Structure 1
Amino acid sequence: MGKAARTTTDRHPPSILHLVKQVQYKAYVRLESVLNPLGVTAVQFRILTTLSTRPNMSSAELSRLYDVKPQTMIKQIALLESKGLIDRRVSSANKRLLELSLTAAGKDALKKLQKDTRALEAELLTPLDGDELEILRGYLTRLLESLSAPNGNHGADIEEFTPEYSRPGVQRP
């Protein structure tokens, strides 16, 4: 005789970390499909978004913010510059520093990308009603505050791009 099917009460519930990672991965795949028509990757979208809120950053500042090697950031900057989405210019404060800013085409592309990503977010969240969305947002915000706070200091401000902390190997949003 064959094995009896296990009932859901016999199994352990799935790990929260596993569920979060699966949702993140599936959302990332969908995000890439939204960004792809404009020839931008998720990493490049984040760089464009950062430069829209923090103009005149250097590639070194961006690499520290995202905790990646400067060479990795320079490669992404070169790709964005070749697409005409960002511009590099010599800093007026330090002639050895190149500051990055969005071009007019970069601003236009970012507006379209933001519109498309907001539409994707709305689509991905359709299984949840308004109250559930607010509850989820509250839980995620609390978790992010907890994980973002240096030395366990809860209550850190939540921004789209959290402050840079000294923990190596963690890519910043």
Structure 2
Amino acid sequence: MTAAHPPRILYLVKQVELAVRGRLDTVLRPHGITVTQYTALTVLEQHPGMSAAQLARHTFVSAQAMDGIVRALGDAGLIERTRDPGNRRRMTISLTPGGTALLADCRDDVDRIEAEAFGGLSGADRDTLSEWLQDARRALEDAPRTVD
């Protein structure tokens, strides 16, 4: 018996996310960090000097959860918080050399997971998929949230 409809794209994206998260958890555990902590570090690698609120939005966690993540990463010496010279009430967060080194240590394992997941795609197809996923994320961020 075949399904009346193919699986929804949202379902497939969620299945990929769960599979990737499980694999990431396995390779990151020996480094002493969680998937969410790793995500925060990679966001900071791309966007140093973020506030905790900005980092929470980019990492897809609540501000309250980010407080614990920032505390743990700071205690581990992976990030540093400094006062923003342009706004003395704002603290910015950046990687320490230890945080940069940890990401470098994780890179081969993470690259291997990405290659296993998307190795069947050409470079052009990977670029296209990346663009589509970024477009989808932006569209959802820009759309008003409604509940009917």
Gaps of 5+ in 1: 1-5, 151-163, 169-173
| Stretches (4+) displaced over 6 A | none
Letter in 2 for 1:15: P
**SS, match of residue 95 in structure 1:** strand
Query: 1:23-79 deviations in whole A, cap 9, x for unaligned?
Result: 221121111111111111121112111111211111122234445432211111001
Residue 16 of structure 2, aligned match among 20, 23, 43: 23
* Larger helix percent: 2
Residue 135 of structure 2, aligned match among 145, 148, 166: 145
* Larger strand percent: 2
Letter in 2 for 1:145: D
Q: 1:92, CA displacement in angstroms?
A: 2.0
Structure 2-normalised TM-score? 0.78
Q: Specify the alignment match of 2:74 in structure 1.
A: 81
Structure 1-normalised TM-score? 0.69
The structure with more radius of gyration: 1
Q: Specify the alignment match of 2:31 in structure 1.
A: 38
Q: Specify the alignment match of 1:57 in structure 2.
A: 50
Gaps of 5+ in 2: none
**SS, match of residue 106 in structure 2:** helix
| Matches of 1:166 and 1:56, distance apart in 2 | 27
Identity of aligned residues (%): 31
Q: Specify the alignment match of 2:94 in structure 1.
A: 101
Q: 1:91, CA displacement in angstroms?
A: 2.1
Q: Taking structure 1 as reference, are residues 93 and 42 closer, same or farther at Cα in structure 2, changes over 3 Å only?
A: same
| Matches of 2:5 and 2:85, distance apart in 1 | 57
2:82 is equivalent to residue 92 of structure 1: no
Q: 1:123, CA displacement in angstroms?
A: 2.5
| Matches of 2:142 and 2:55, distance apart in 1 | 14
